Amino acid sequence: MRVTVIRNKRRKRAAFYVTPEGIELRVPARLPKRLVDRALEEHDTWIRETLQNLPQQMSVLDRGLVLHGEHYPVRRDSGRTLRHDGTSFLVPEAWDDATLWKQYEIWLRERALHYAIERAPIYEKILGVKAKKIRIGHQKTRWGSCSSNGTISINVRLMLAPKEMMDYVIAHEWVHLVHFDHSPSFWSTLQTIYPNTATAKDWLKRHGHTLQLKKTD
């Protein structure tokens, strides 16, 4: 467990984030080192207490995997691919943790894309617009995006949250095909097609930092 400082050109201010691997201090790219050190010093007590309370690193077999907000145990299996039988994840006996993490993200991406494509006709019918393409990404700070050419991107980490969060983000980005901004018209349209917008936004604000996938690249 450790504290990692991450610099980002798009970030405007410093903030601490708790992840399964420890604590991240995300700061603007040009923030002077002395200010970074000051932030670490001022939060020293909180950092030490937080790290002490985080669970120690465990193998995937010990801690299980998550799907749609539910934890499932991981069991070894004679098969050759990662599978989910409704009660647990089944993994090939030969896989180590690194292989499992990589295949787990691939598996989540495939199912996220399938889910988003399944939801597409609902919003196509309501809003009268189609997305040029749907893709699944692994963004650090965005849950979704809609490009000017009509490509919708959804964060694979939403597969770790309750399904309602995925539904909300898909609806949110689909409305951007009509309103390419966050104007009152945008929010009004979104509220019409997804009435639980406020609840979903609040959930992601409070729990979004817990939706973490181990980077394998």
Q: What is the CATH number of the domain that holds 164?
A: 3.30.2010.10
115 and 136 assigned to the same domain: yes
40 falls within a domain:
yes
28 and 90 assigned to the same domain: no
120 and 148 assigned to the same domain: yes
96 falls within a domain:
yes
Residue 131 structural domain: 109-210
216 falls within a domain:
no
217 falls within a domain:
no
* Predicted pLDDT at 1: 52
113 and 193 assigned to the same domain: yes
99 and 117 assigned to the same domain: no
Domain tally, the chain: 3
46 and 75 assigned to the same domain: no
137 and 169 assigned to the same domain: yes
115 falls within a domain:
yes
Q: What mean pLDDT do residues 180-208 have?
A: 94
pTM of the model: 0.72
pLDDT in tens, 28-79: 999 999 999 999 999 998 888 887 776 655 566 667 889 999 989 999 988 8
74 and 155 assigned to the same domain: no
Residue bearing the bigger pLDDT, 96 or 178: 178
48 falls within a domain:
yes
35 falls within a domain:
yes
215 falls within a domain:
no
32 and 68 assigned to the same domain: no
Region for residue 64 given its phi and psi (left: phi exceeds 0; alpha: psi -120 to 50; beta: otherwise): left
pLDDT at residue 20 above 70?
no
